[in-house]
Every structure is written in structure tokens, then in C-alpha cells.
Amino acid sequence: MGLVTLFIAQRHRGGENQLPFFACLTLLIAGICSMISMFSWLDLAGDIFSSLHSLNLLRFSFFLPFGIFMVLFIGWSQIQLGAKKWMILFFLGINIFIYQYEWRNLVNNKLEILPYKVPTYGEYFAVQQYEEIKHHLGDRANELIFGHINLPPAVSVYNGLHAADGYLQNYSLNYKHRIREVIEGELIKDDSLTSHFDNWGNKCYLQNATYPDMFDLYKWKEAEPIRQLNFNFSKLKEDLQVEYLLSSVEIWDQNLELVNLFVNEESAWDIYLYQVKSPQSLVGKHQKL
């Protein structure tokens, strides 16, 4: 409404000095977009009105780019500039051929111009590789519950496996708390990760502080092993019924036993399959030592 009011006011003022007006308006919208992304305004407001904690202001930022383009379009239509049509085509070309990452990714997969690579749909979901995993585990594979370390649980679900974690739209708060009890030892290593897990309700992942919230550790990325995973493995196994972890990165932890490493040329992942050891076996091991 504020933008509409400004526009109407400018129309009543006449056509002079319209370029500075629309330039300032565009910068104002861009500034609002940046500030919403950088500052947690609702966290402060939530201290006064607790219900505001559940409102994600970032969702409204999706409308701001449309506002910017609207202002630019209206501004160009009002400015008496002979080359404005070519300017519109120029900026549309920039938007299509530079800002649109799907186009860039497609070209980069062929020419490798940019220093990064993204997987294809088939590489991401790695159907053949998951068939190898299920074949290795036998008939029980479809009955087991898996946890995931820096590997999107959605990939496992797509391939017919049960996941204890994931990006979930509707689930009980109690389950969120149970997941938190498992990963609390990792959360205390990183305050930002703690805040991220506690305040982003949809994310119910088995997070770790070594690679926090990284679910794009494709096999062409270099990643050092996770040297210790401070999970409550007893609760992971007995409460959440997780017997195996699927990980896109190697893990060095005495609570886990590497079952197999699955590598496939048509997959975006090198998938490590770990079995969660039972607490009894670890007690016995310590007693022998």
C-alpha cells in the first residue's frame, strides 16, 4: 500500500524528476529485502508477543523482487527515454541468462565454465545405488528405520526406505524434542546450529556441528571425516529405532560400525552405511580394555 501511495503522489506531482524517484523507490525495496534477510526482527518482536515467533518474515521477501520489477516497469513507462525498450530487453536478458541458475547449471554441466557442479535428477535420487543398498541389507531393508548424516532423507524416502529424520511439514512437537535429545551433544558445539534447529520447525534432521545443515556434500566435493559424532546413540537406537545411518561423509566414531561404502558412477553420492552398535556391546568392549 505504501508503494501505491507513493506512486499516486508522484503522478499528481507531474512528470518531472521521475527517474530519481523511481531509482530511490527501487533502492528502498532492495534495502527492505536485504534487511529482512540480515536481521531477525521477529525474534525481537517475539519477546513481546510470543505468537510472532512462529511467523517467518522471510516468506514475505519472495514478493519483493516482483515489487522491484513492477517499479522498474512503471518507471520506464513514464520516463521519456528513446532507448527504454532496448533497456528492458537488456535487463530481461540478464535475468534469463545470468540470474536464472537452472540455465547456468545446464550449460555448466556441458562446458564446466563455473567452478561448481550440481547433480542431475537421476544422480540426486541415485535409484540404482539404493537398489544396491537394499540388496545388501536383504528383505529387512524396507522394514528398517534409517538416520541420515549430511544426506537428504528425502532421497531415501524416494527409494522406499523409512527415515527417522527429514524436512517435515506436520509432525508432533514431542518427536522434535526426541530428535533434539539425540543430537544435543552436537548442538552445544554451535550456538547458531542450536538456534537453527530449535527455531526452524520443519527441519527435523540429525544435525552435526562438523557440517551443519549441509545436505549437498556430493561426491565431487572434498570433505574431511567427521571425527566424533556426539549423539545419544542409546536413545537413537532404542527410542527412535534407528539401526543404520546413511552418510555422505565418512564418520569416525566407536559407536558406529562401517558396514559398506556404496559408490556408483551414476550417483551424486558416495554413501557410507553404518550400523549403530548396541549399548551392551560398547560396555563389554570397555570392560575388556
Domain boundaries, the chain: 2-99, 125-288
Q: What is the pLDDT of residue 184?
A: 97
Summarised one tens digit per residue, pLDDT across range 101-150 is 666 677 767 777 766 788 989 999 999 999 999 999 999 999 999 999 99
The H-assigned helical ranges of the chain are: 2-13, 18-38, 41-46, 64-78, 84-94, 101-111, 121-125, 127-137, 153-158, 173-187, 191-199, 233-238, 279-288
Summarised one tens digit per residue, pLDDT across range 70-82 is 776 766 666 666 6
**Would you say 165 and 153 are in contact if contact means Cβ atoms under 8 Å apart?**
yes
**Would you say 16 and 66 are in contact if contact means Cβ atoms under 8 Å apart?**
no
Summarised one tens digit per residue, pLDDT across range 153-189 is 999 999 999 999 999 989 999 999 999 999 999 999 9
Q: What is the pLDDT of residue 116?
A: 74
**Alpha-carbon gap, residue 175 to 75, rounded angstroms:** 51
* Angle separating helix axes 173-187 and 191-199, nearest 10 degrees: 170
To the nearest whole number, what is the mean pLDDT of the chain?
A: 81
* 184 vs 29 pLDDT, higher one: 184
How distant, in Å, are the alpha carbons of 6, 43, 91, 95 from that of 182?
53, 26, 50, 44
Strand order through the sheet with 162-163: 162-163, 145-149, 242-247, 270-276, 256-263
**Alpha-carbon gap, residue 172 to 177, rounded angstroms:** 9
Mapping DSSP to helix (H, G, I), strand (E, B) and coil, where does residue 166 land? strand
Report the pLDDT averaged over residues 58-69: 67
Which cell goes with 2?
Answer: 505504501
* 33 vs 191 pLDDT, higher one: 191
pLDDT band at 57 (very low <50, low <70, confident <90, very high): low
Report the pLDDT averaged over residues 212-222: 94
Q: What is the pLDDT of residue 289?
A: 46
Q: What is the pLDDT of residue 189?
A: 96
Q: What is the pLDDT of residue 97?
A: 66
Which cell goes with 61?
Answer: 521477501
Which cell goes with 251?
Answer: 564418520
